[in-house]
């Protein structure tokens, strides 16, 4: 491993590869119709990005803005509808297009009013052709916006999963993470979610917050478990440039280097949380994701959202074909985000890809390796061979050998490559170690804004 990755297990959360900071403006702006012409379209994923929140948490580096002037959410949905019409036209004949999953994320989709959520669902169904009541539909929400009328719309339109960003049930920790909320309000929101009878409730929690101890971490875990959520995500706290916590000076990326004490605290809390959930009947799906053993099947989860055949609507959303990953411009700073949203809502022509990363055969292999190996089920050697005509060891022998040397990887002489429990704990160092030199160089050259 590199020196930085030997000293810190927290490099990057690899939720997509290549990372969006590796994307660049596409000089020829390829037409979507050409990009999708030869792609399989019988099991597409649909994602709609809603870049609005009632407050921006101190740790958040997602593409979102705080609040919306009068008329902006309606104008944004108008642009989303124009984009949907043009993207659907680019996909071609309807008989060959089918959506297998859908998700609304952000930001906070439930920042929209109930009527606006109805409109969003109409766009997905009537403009894109996604049958939301027949496929898994996941929606992100915050406690403050999980109101009964909004949840009622989502339940009626077919939502099968509601993900609630709680982060901590301890009020002082929520304040430390610049997540102003009270536990009583969180509990009320959880009650409304359960009343809405959406089949799967996911609760997000964060460890590594200033002042958090193993005792208070256990308090949050137990408070979440009291609701018997079908899923729980346990996230390590990251402090990134241009975020609220980053501006307060707590920024390891621009400071003197990794913080060993904080790293050890996060590892200790991760292991405590993992063991606690395993003891309470949850199975580990990845470093972050835990699913109750008797939870209903949801079809594709966060593993599948990276597969080819992803249609992203809205600025902040990505789309994936086999040969190109593309999106709109990306930023973290609030001023820049507002400018990108303002440009989006006045855009008339959505028929071309603007910003992206071309995927060659080598990057496709790395992506398959990453999105498989970082899951608890691991990587099927036979599946890899069937897709690429080689074994993972033939393509990535030195990288896999380093993981084995650290006792982070097993199965190199068998049918499934699988991270050990300690390997899963170090997923956020293992993932970046497997990035290609080209992707690392592009990320390093990215100018933050």
Residue 430 lies in a domain: yes
Residues 188 and 250 in one domain: yes
Determine the pLDDT at residue 449: 80
Residue 344 lies in a domain: no
Cβ count near 449 (within 10 Å): 14
What is the CATH classification number for the domain harbouring 407?
1.10.10.920
Residues 383 and 270 in one domain: no
Residues 69 and 10 in one domain: no
Residues of the chain with pLDDT under 50: 1-5, 250-256, 301-306
Cis peptide bond upstream of 18, omega within 30 = yes
Q: Which of 286, 306, 326 is the last residue of a domain?
A: 306
> What is the pTM for the complete model shown?
0.93
Determine the pLDDT at residue 12: 85
Cβ count near 326 (within 10 Å): 23
Residue 391 lies in a domain: yes
Cβ count near 259 (within 10 Å): 17
Residue 408 lies in a domain: yes
Residues 376 and 238 in one domain: no
Q: Which of 279, 306, 333 is the last residue of a domain?
A: 306
Determine the pLDDT at residue 239: 81
- Say if CB 355 and CB 340 are below 8 A apart: no
Please give the Cα distance from 188 to 151 (Å, whole number).
13
First CA to last CA distance, the chain: 30
Residue 406: give the domain boundaries.
1-18+360-449
Burial degree of 149 (CB within 10 A; 0-12, 13-18, 19+): exposed
Residue 258 lies in a domain: yes
Residues 12 and 128 in one domain: no
Residues 28 and 11 in one domain: no
Residues 267 and 387 in one domain: no
* Overall number of domains in the chain: 2
Determine the pLDDT at residue 93: 82
- Say if CB 235 and CB 302 are below 8 A apart: no
Give the residues across from 416 on adjacent strands. Answer: 380
The pair of structure tokens assigned to 128 is 């894109």
Residues 408 and 386 in one domain: yes
Cβ burial 181-198 (10 Å sphere, 16+ → b, else e): bebeebeebbebbeebeb
Determine the pLDDT at residue 185: 96
Determine the pLDDT at residue 43: 93
Using only C-alpha atoms, what is the Rg of the chain?
21
Q: Which of 306, 321, 347 is the last residue of a domain?
A: 306
Give the residues across from 162 on adjacent strands. Answer: 139, 201
Residues 47 and 5 in one domain: no
Residues 31 and 12 in one domain: no
Residue 316 lies in a domain: no
Residues 300 and 389 in one domain: no
Please give the Cα distance from 395 to 37 (Å, whole number).
30
Cβ count near 394 (within 10 Å): 11
pLDDT tens-digit readout, 341-389: 999 999 999 999 999 999 999 999 999 999 999 999 999 999 999 999 9
Residues 186 and 252 in one domain: yes
What is the CATH classification number for the domain harbouring 51?
3.80.30.20
Residue 396 lies in a domain: yes
Residue 424 lies in a domain: yes
- Say if CB 366 and CB 373 are below 8 A apart: no
């Amino acid at each position: 491993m590199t020196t930085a990755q030997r000293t810190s297990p927290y490099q990057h959360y690899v939720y997509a590869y290549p990372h969006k900071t590796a994307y660049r403006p596409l000089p020829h702006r390829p037409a979507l119709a050409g990009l999708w012409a030869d792609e399989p379209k019988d099991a597409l994923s649909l994602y709609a990005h809603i870049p609005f929140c009632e407050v921006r948490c101190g740790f958040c580096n997602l593409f979102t803005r705080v609040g919306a002037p009068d008329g902006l959410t309606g104008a944004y949905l108008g642009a989303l509808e124009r984009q949907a019409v043009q993207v659907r036209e680019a996909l071609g004949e309807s008989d060959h297009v089918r959506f297998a999953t859908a998700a609304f994320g952000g930001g906070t989709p439930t920042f929209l009013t109930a009527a606006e959520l109805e409109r969003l669902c109409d766009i997905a169904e009537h403009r894109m052709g996604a049958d939301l009541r027949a496929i898994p539909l996941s929606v992100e929400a915050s406690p403050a916006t999980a109101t009964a009328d909004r949840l009622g719309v989502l339940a009626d339109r077919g939502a099968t999963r509601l993900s609630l960003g709680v982060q901590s049930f301890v009020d002082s920790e929520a304040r430390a993470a610049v997540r102003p909320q009270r536990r009583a309000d969180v509990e009320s929101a959880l009650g409304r979610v359960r009343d809405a009878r959406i089949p799967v409730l996911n609760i997000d929690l964060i460890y590594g917050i200033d002042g958090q101890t193993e005792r208070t971490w256990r308090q949050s875990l137990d408070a979440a478990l009291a609701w018997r959520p079908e899923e729980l995500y346990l996230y390590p706290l990251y402090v990134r440039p241009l975020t609220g916590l980053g501006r307060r000076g707590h920024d390891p990326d621009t400071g003197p280097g990794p913080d060993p004490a904080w790293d050890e605290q996060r590892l200790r809390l991760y292991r405590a949380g993992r063991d606690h959930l395993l003891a309470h009947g949850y199975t580990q799906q990845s470093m972050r994701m835990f699913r109750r053993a008797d939870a209903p099947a949801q079809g594709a989860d966060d593993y599948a959202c990276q597969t080819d055949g992803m249609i992203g609507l809205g600025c902040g959303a990505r789309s994936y074909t086999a040969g190109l990953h593309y999106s709109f411009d990306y930023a973290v700073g609030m001023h820049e985000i507002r400018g990108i949203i303002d440009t989006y809502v006045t855009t008339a022509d959505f028929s071309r890809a603007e910003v992206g990363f071309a995927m060659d055969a080598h990057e496709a292999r790395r992506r398959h390796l990453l999105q498989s190996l970082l899951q608890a089920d691991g990587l099927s050697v036979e599946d890899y061979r069937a897709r690429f005509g080689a074994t993972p060891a033939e393509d990535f022998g030195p990288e896999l050998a380093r993981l084995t040397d650290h006792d982070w990887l097993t199965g190199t002489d068998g049918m499934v490559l699988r991270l050990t429990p300690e390997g899963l704990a170090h997923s956020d160092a293992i993932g970046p170690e497997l990035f290609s030199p080209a992707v690392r160089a592009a990320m390093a050259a990215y100018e933050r804004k």
